[in-house]
Structure 1
Amino acid sequence: MIGAGPVGLSTALLLARWGVQVLVLDRRPGRDSTGSKSICQQRDVLDIWAAAGAGRVAEEGLAWTTARTYYRDRELFSWSFEREGTLPACVNISQARTERILDEAVAAQPLIEVRWNHDVTGLTQDASGVTVHCGQRLLRASYVVACAGARAQQVRQALGVTFDGEAFDDQFLICDIRADLPGWENERRFYFDPVWNPGRQVLIHPCPEGTYRIDWQIAPDFIPTKTDISRKIRQIIGDRPYELLWHSTYRFHSRIASRMRVGRVLLAGDCAHLLAPFGARGLNSGVPDAENAAWKLAFALNGWAGEGLLESYHAERHAAALENLEVTAATLRFLVPKTVEQRMRRRAVLEGGVAEEVDSGRFAEPYWYVGSPLTTPSPERPFHGRPPKGRSCEPAPGVILPDLPLPGGRLREMCRDGFLVLLGDMCDSGLFVQVLGKVITAPLAVRELAEIDGTGSLAERLGAGPGEAWLIRPDAHIAAIIPHAGPESVVAAVSRALGGSPDDP
């Protein structure tokens, strides 16, 4: 593992959960624990961290519920997250605290070793593994996951991977403050063109322990002084007392690696894609990279699957990165119009205040593997596209399973130990177990929905009908929904979900 940031540590924890020994290398001398950095973590990422042993992120984070959008001094609209399961839809927590929680989980895991001061300068591969060059030191691994961040040029160059995209001129000033702001404690606020930042945007997020994160879009050549920062904060909070905890400026990039898998090396997180910050799609896509990589590498290492499954990492996560770039690029065209026509349209939309037309950044959501080679399509359950903002997607092949509450737990907690077959009424689970056990070597469990929830409410909420079989992947995505299911049709779906042909035995 290259990189001990949140994506690298998440990958290590998830691999260790599958019994894989992991060595994590990081070029830094130790943990940098200052600044909020990436703060918004959505429900599906919290679910992954809970499975990895870092559920405290959800427990300690501040669960904000409402997003308000303003144009100058007028509120245009607000929206709230849909309630689902027991995990909050989103929490705000500093990246520094998230990393400490992950560090503690890693320290408790004997299968993981972290080595600081190890700068990876090159990679060479052969048929049996990867040689990792740390200056004159050479280390050997069966596979490598590169989570070394945006500045991992040497790693990408060693793999022959390009990192095309663009950088943006405008800067952003970030400030973490502690202040008493009644009514703001559970609300995200986005301001277009406020009088105290004319022509640009401001974003305000509540964080734990009475702290707030404020992002100002500022001019490319503006170098803020302490006086400038104080003035900008006062324009928002008035004469209330406050404490400035941290501040920084940054420019953002939109870039994507040409390949996210090169032989035995997988690229994940900022090493593979950089996104504009609107919608919090950075870390919220890096952690799903980690989960996707971890279960597929574990299956390959255990001989449960082969080349097709590993290659699907690139197919699925590169497609996810492209969608995130598309979504954030549309937001940027609205936030930072470059032509007269774009500026006129933006102004007209903001003055009209129609919520569906105002783009302040569609919040992070899981990528749905509808077109994945691992997914068995179902004409009876087509994918209907992105749901309205803040709402969950209807179940369909490729979509992540809803995280529904169960007696004593959550539905997704049943999905992390291998493939899961959920059977509706009129299915003989014993027959399915007998047939699947003869041809599938990968971990797989068969459960009847009526057995999991005798009230029938689980089947009703899923929309699962009699005679249906639902195949769920180890990352909780639905691989297939098969009507009038027999064991043979489920075997074909499992084979496909393992990266083989649907006709493979």
Structure 2
Amino acid sequence: MPSVIVVGAGPVGQTAALLLARRGVPVVVLDARTARDPVGSRAIVQQRDVIDIWDAVGVGRRVAAEGVTWRTARTYHRDRELFAVEFVDSGRSPFPPFANVSQARTEELLDERLARTPLAEVRWSHRVTGIAQDAEGVTVTCDTPTGERTLRAPHVLVCAGAKADAIRADLGLTFDGETFDDQFLICDLRTDLPGWETERRFYFDPAWNPGRQVLVHPCPGGTFRVDWQVNPDFDLAGEEASGGLDRRIRQIVGERPYEILWRSVYRFSSRLVPRMRVGRVLLAGDCAHLVSPFGARGLNSGVQDAENAAWKLAHVHNGWSPESLLETYHLERHAAAVENLTVTAATMRFLVPRTEADRAYRRDVLDRAATNPAARTLVDSGRLAEPFWYADSPLTTPNPRYPAAGRPPRGQVNPPAPGVLVPDVPCGDGTRVRAWARRPTCDPVVLDHATVPEVPDGEAWVLRPDAHIAAIVDAGDPDAIAAAVRRATGLPAA
């Protein structure tokens, strides 16, 4: 019997399974599909701190190597560049701020690793039709090609995506929020755009999509991902038949030859479940929260859900922490989802204003931003993903010398403080801090100035298994260190 059943074999479920197996937890992954469906680029922007998580399971370096690296995000209004954001690295990470690679390729790399992981098994054609739990475990009922089957495990992690309505209903969860009226046309194009290969470009109200937006991302293999905001009644088939799609593309690529690799139309939603833990069942990724894609907070936040859930489930299953540790998964990751919804909702109000007041505000900001640096800070084309800060978590030990972290300035990261992801700096033995923190052991890592010179002399930094700083205490106070270590893993103070 597996110790954990993961429902959904997308990147979130794959990551969770690999992290659980790495910590010695047998896991079975169930997916309703008959096999992998590598169609379209889908989620393409993989953030540095997520690549770090994948590095812990042996995939991160390949994602970074195959992806297109970019460090600059340019924003335009009509034909004028308003500003460019350069992304910094406070910890000298071996990975770029972002790597653009298709979700399909990421899934292939994760599948390859899963196939070499003895404690993880993937079962396709297993459509979950029911989840029931009791004091001892969870029973999952599946529809399979050979008939109905049931599986049982102490815990279940649901990573089944946005359409997991039946599972949410079984758990008594709503999925409240809204869906935006405007549609977005997405095309993967193979073409040559000199100078565009390593930059993200966002256009407000260009002459070739008046009144709306266009986003262009470079991707591997001489390809580009282009997103056009289009009318609520946009008809893709009609656009193709009339030649409108070709004209739309030509307005970007000119007379250069191009090839359409994939195209689709989406409406984006903002939704959130009220609970990300229901007894012995945890929810992660799009089945728990949906955000608009501007800022690349969907897949990236889902992978961070997976890491948070995996280390806590492993600690419980290995007897290192009590079952109550799992409640902190809901507290921490629900707060992260609220932050992502807050940020992306503000972006969508700017991108798709619904009231005359919002439209007037946007016109004023964009007009002033051409010459006024202060106005440029108000232009919202999507605040790019960043790791959440667990300053208010019950696992975090506050320190008055390090005030609680909040949202950092755009393009920057929070300085080291309790709750913040530790900068990825070198250790004295040649390893890196985050890799050291993520070792598959029960003990949190304690850093001091002797092991990592970036740690101020006289301080001890207690790191959680997901490399977040749990506490900064006096290095000469062993009782304070011990208390912070226990608190970081959900153990009683005594």
TM class by shorter-chain length?
A: over 0.9
Q: Which residue of 2 aligns with 1:179?
A: 191
1:414 aligns with 2:436: yes
Residues 74-126 of structure 1, C-alpha deviations (whole Å, 9 max, x = no match): 11111111133211111000000000000001011111111111000110111
CA distance in structure 2 between the aligned counterparts of 1:155 and 1:39, rounded to whole angstroms: 27
Does the Cα contact within 8 Å between 2:34 and 2:125 map onto a contact in 1?
yes
Q: Report the counterpart of residue 308 of structure 1 in structure 2.
A: 324
Question: How far apart, CA to CA, are the structure 1 residues paired with 2:16 and 2:272?
Answer: 20
What's the counterpart of residue 202 of structure 1? 214
Partners of 1:184 and 1:76 lie apart in 2 by 17
User: Which position in structure 2 is the counterpart of 1:434?
Assistant: none
Residue 162 of structure 2 is aligned to residue 147 of structure 1: no
**2:15–2:306 contact (8 Å) kept in structure 1:** yes
| Aligned twin of 1:399 | 420
Shift of 1:448: 4.3
SS at match of 2:160: coil
CA distance in 1: counterparts of 2:475 and 2:225, whole angstroms: 52
Take 1:119 and 1:2, find their aligned partners in 2: how far apart are those partners?
9
Report the equivalent of 2:74.
Answer: 68
Q: Which residue number corresponds to residue 367 of structure 1? A: 388
> In the alignment, which residue of structure 2 is the partner of 1:10?
15
Which residue number corresponds to residue 190 of structure 1? 202
Deviation of the 1:444 alpha carbon: 4.2
Equivalent residue, structure 2, for 1:222: 234
1:440-479 deviations in Å (ceiling 9; x for gaps) = xx334555432x35xxxx32xxxx3332111000000000
2:30 — aligned with what?
A: 25
Q: By how many angstroms is 1:494 displaced? A: 1.8
Q: For residue 410 of structure 1, report the CA deviation from its aligned partner.
A: 2.2
Answer whether contact 1:86 1:410 (CA < 8 A) is retained.
no
2:284 corresponds in structure 1 to 268
Match of 1:50 in 2: 55
1:484-495 matches, within 5 Å, as 485-495=476-486
Q: Please state whether the residue corresponding to 1:97 is helix, strand or coil.
A: helix
- Shift of the 418–31 alpha-carbon distance from structure 1 to 2, 3 Å rule, reads closer
**Match for 2:97 among 45, 70, 89?**
89
Contact 2:190 2:261 in 1 (8 A): yes
Q: Does structure 1 conserve the Cα–Cα contact (< 8 Å) formed by 2:448 and 2:459?
A: no
* CA apart distance, 1:333: 1.0
Structure-2 change in CA distance of 1:395 and 1:240 (3 Å): same
Q: Which runs of 5+ in 2 are unaligned?
A: 1-5, 370-374
Question: More displaced, 464-473 or 116-125?
Answer: 464-473
Checking the alignment, whether the CA contact within 8 Å between 2:27 and 2:121 is kept in structure 1 is yes
Verify the 8 A CA contact 2:444 2:464 in the aligned structure 1. Answer: no
How far 1:355 sits from its partner (Å)? 2.1
CA distance in 1, matches of 2:384, 2:445: 34
Q: Tell whether the 8 Å contact from 2:446 to 2:463 is kept in structure 1 after alignment.
A: no
After superposition, the C-alpha distances for 1:148-168 in whole angstroms (9 at most, x for unaligned) are: 000001111111111100011
In structure 2, the residue matched to 1:161 is 173
SS at match of 1:449: coil
Whether the 8 Å CA contact 2:214–2:229 is kept in 1: the answer is: yes
Q: Is the 8 A contact 1:86 1:405 kept in 2?
A: no
2:302 corresponds in structure 1 to 286
Shift of 1:483: 2.8
Q: Secondary structure at the match of 1:63?
A: strand
SS state at 1:217 partner: strand
Q: Which residue of 1 aligns with 2:343?
A: 327
Q: How far apart are 1:42 and its partner, in Å?
A: 0.6
Residue 347 (structure 2) pairs with residue 342 (structure 1):
no
Say whether 1:236 aligns with 2:217: no
Q: Deviations over 1:17-72 (max 9, x none)?
A: 10111100000111010100000011100000000221211121111111110001
* Letter of the 2:66 counterpart: E
Q: Which of 128, 131, 149 is the matching residue for 2:136? A: 128
Change in 2 beyond 3 A, CA 1:157/1:85: same
Percent identity of paired positions between Structure 1 and Structure 2: 62
Contact 2:444 2:463 (8 Å CA) reproduced: no
Structure 2 residue 271 is the aligned partner of structure 1 residue 250: no
Cα distance between partner residues in 2 of 1:323 and 1:389: 14
Q: Kindly provide the amino acid, as one letter, of the partner of residue 421 in structure 2.
A: I
2:487 maps to which residue? 496
Q: Cα RMSD between the aligned structures?
A: 1.4
Secondary structure in structure 2 of the residue aligned to 1:172: strand
Q: Distance in 2 between matches of 1:388 and 1:251?
A: 29
Find the residue that maps to 1:357 and give its secondary structure: coil
Letter in 2 for 1:185: E
Q: Which runs of 4+ in 1 moved over 4 A?
A: 444-448
The question of whether the paired residues in 2 share the 8 Å contact of 1:169 and 1:251 is answered with yes
Identify if the C-alpha distance between structure 1 residues 138 and 384 changes in structure 2 by more than 3 Å, giving closer, same or farther. closer
Q: Please, which runs of 5 or more residues in structure 1 have no aligned partner?
A: 420-441
What CA distance in whole angstroms lies between the structure 2 residues aligned with 1:345 and 1:155?
41
